[in-house]
Amino acid sequence: MCIDYQSLNKITVADKYPIPNIDELLDELYGSTVFSKVDLRSGYYQIRVNPTDIEKTAFRTHSGRYEFKVMPFSLTNAPSTFQATMNDLFRPHLRRFVLVFFDDILVYSRSRDDHQVHLKIVLNLLLQHQFFAKESKCCFGQHSVLFLGHVVSAEGVQVDQEKEVCKALWYHCSPTDGPHQKDGFKWNEDVAVAFNKLKQALISTPVLRLPDFSQQTFLVECDASGDGVGAILLQEDHPIAYFSKGFSPLNRLKSAYDRELLALILAFLLEQRVTTVEQQRLLLKLMPYDFSIVHRAGKLNKGADALSRRPSTVQLCALVLPKSSVVEEIISELHSDPFTQSIMQKLSQDPNLVPHYQMVDQLLLFKALSWKNATA
């Protein structure tokens, strides 16, 4: 049950207790081979409300007036209160063999013998402070376990495939791909093939290796396009993390040199000739690091290059580009003229039927490749 506590939350002093970062938690798992997960039952309800504050939680229904004796989920400070309680409970063991994210508790160890000791400590602490777990959601002594939407194992971290199938975040069709016609979206064979390839790519996400901080060297591959930046963090040629970020309209107007510098800053590096005040400001962020810069040709930097050109950033670019009404009139006439209609119809059936013709952004072009080369 969720109660509307907006009025109470407005007059409540906010607790600024930090919430753990999932990526940082997962970084602690390097070298672990045995895992157990404990999921607390109705986590927030296991925290008692201060008796003097119980009346503040009052609410009314058709059957009468009620008050919460345990912490309801809708209070503004409920998440921070619960996380602080869990951190205080496990503080001597946090990030040594225990990770806690609200009511999800992960116990991890390098060996089965160590794991038995660690798990006993955790369960005894929960029993001592009267916290209860939901048995059906717990697992013990596993070589891999699902934790916070990731499958963690000795090999590394992998996203939960069942959830990733539902996330078609990169799905994008340009006007020449077929679905975007004058009469609306149409599902066709080409779109079905593209969609199935997308699903396969999502469910076959590679395992990300956990970082080994005992080693000195990490490698960052980065790239900048006109739309955004992309980067991959690697260790021993194995990916540890990915990063992708679209440019704001202002950053899209910057020079290629400034965009590449921004990619290095966002991904984390740099050492090159500084010519502007902004570059000097950005380089201050890099001074504490020991690093070297090695240029990698575009054809060898495919991963970061793809991340810097995500379809989502391309779509945003269209919001800031000028558009000519003349082009719209040309497109309209192309679809109404019998001669051009016949050519476009043949193109959709088999491009070889009409050599030298090509559809680009709903425009019918003749010898388009030669025209592009001439204007390059």
* CATH number, position 132: 3.30.70.270
Do 85 and 156 reside in the same domain of the chain? yes
Identify the residue with better confidence: 309 or 209: 209
When pLDDT is averaged across residues 348-361 and rounded to a whole number, the result is: 78
**Could you tell me which of 103, 114, 164 has the C-alpha nearest to residue 138?**
103
When pLDDT is averaged across residues 71-84 and rounded to a whole number, the result is: 89
Do 31 and 130 reside in the same domain of the chain? yes
From 108-117, 119-128, 244-253, the region with the lowest mean pLDDT: 244-253
- Predicted pLDDT at 374: 38
Do 287 and 332 reside in the same domain of the chain? no
* pLDDT tens for each residue of 300-335: 655 555 555 554 443 333 333 344 555 677 777 777
Do 280 and 135 reside in the same domain of the chain? no
- Predicted pLDDT at 207: 60
Do 59 and 118 reside in the same domain of the chain? yes
Percent of the chain whose predicted confidence (pLDDT) is above 90:
21
Whole-angstrom Cα distance, residue 317 to residue 303? Answer: 21
* CATH number, position 303: 3.10.20
Do 357 and 240 reside in the same domain of the chain? no
DSSP states of 43-83 as a string?
GGGGSBPPGGGGGGG-EEETTEEE--SB--TTSTTHHHHHH
- Predicted pLDDT at 201: 62
Do 304 and 334 reside in the same domain of the chain? no
Is 139 a residue whose pLDDT tops 70? yes
Do 25 and 132 reside in the same domain of the chain? yes
| Domain housing 32 | 5-163
* pLDDT tens for each residue of 189-203: 887 887 777 666 655
- Predicted pLDDT at 350: 79
Q: Which residues contact 16 (CB under 8 A, 6 or more apart)?
A: 80
The verdict on residue 197 lying in a domain is no
Whole-angstrom Cα distance, residue 61 to residue 64? Answer: 5
The verdict on residue 373 lying in a domain is no
pTM summary value:
0.52
3-state secondary structure of 128: helix
Which two three-digit tokens encode residue 190? 């080409």
| Burial environment of residue 37 by CB neighbours within 10 A (0 to 12, 13 to 18, 19 or more) | buried
DSSP-derived letter for residue 17 is P
The verdict on residue 55 lying in a domain is yes
The total number of structural domains in the chain stands at 3
